[in-house]
Amino acid sequence: MMPDYYSDIFGGGYGYYGGLGNIASAAGPILIVSAVLALLLAIFFLPKRNQGKFSPVLNKLYNFMNFNVYWLTYIIKFLYAALSIYLFIMGIYTMFAVNFWAGIMLILSIFVVRVIFESLYAMFSIRNNVEDINRKMGTGSGGSPYIPTAPQNGGGYTASAPREPQRQGQQSQAAPTYAPPAPEPEPEPDPNKCTNCGATIREGAMFCANCGAKVK
């Protein structure tokens, strides 16, 4: 005969296997409902356009479901701290209750655990570092990247405002340039004047009557 506690737990005398059957029969409808709810969340709650539009509690839920905050690094830190404390306490206990050198080995194994967890943390923190860099060197409202300016007095670079892209057909406004004025051409010499003294020369004369210079 079936014990009474099976009937109390699962009801109707189905026992352990009967309870598993009830769970299996309910799994299908629950899976369909879960899929519909997940689809509604993906359409109306999770898009990026909703970021910052909710209350503080819903914003935390939004960031959590969009993986904007990564908890894995915090979990790694917690596991490392818990395992290190456990190994230290077990090492102290083993040193005095079981074997001294076995306890020393347990305590020294903390350094091995440190190397393993540090490697895991380094791998998972790469993405966080890349996201921080992208956030600091992000794009402006028009899609133009921020351009780092020269180092300030305190060192480092600062991001300047994005430059507006030059529209097609728009010419760059260069500073106007002024050319020096062209020199005036020298007047041609008067054939009736002496090039030496400027006196009037008679027509057909070979020398100037005033200064005696030869007429060219």
pLDDT in tens, 182-204: 777 776 767 778 877 877 777 77
Could you please report the per-residue DSSP string of 55-77?
Answer: -HHHHHHHHHHTTSS--HHHHHH
Q: Count CB neighbours of 208 within 10 A.
A: 20
**Averaging pLDDT over each range in 71-75, 101-105, 180-184, 198-202, which range is the top one?**
101-105
Q: Which of the two residues, 133 and 101, has the higher pLDDT score?
A: 101
Q: Which of the two residues, 151 and 89, has the higher pLDDT score?
A: 89
CA distance 2 to 13: 7
Check if the beta carbon of residue 145 is closer than 8 Å to that of residue 164: no
Q: Which residues, in sequence order, are bridge partners of residue 193? A: 200
Q: Which of the two residues, 96 and 194, has the higher pLDDT score?
A: 96
Say what the pLDDT of residue 129 is. Answer: 77
Q: Which residues contact 185 (CB under 8 A, 6 or more apart)?
A: none
- The percent of residues above 70 in pLDDT, for the chain, comes to 69
Q: Count CB neighbours of 73 within 10 A.
A: 14
Say what the pLDDT of residue 10 is. Answer: 46
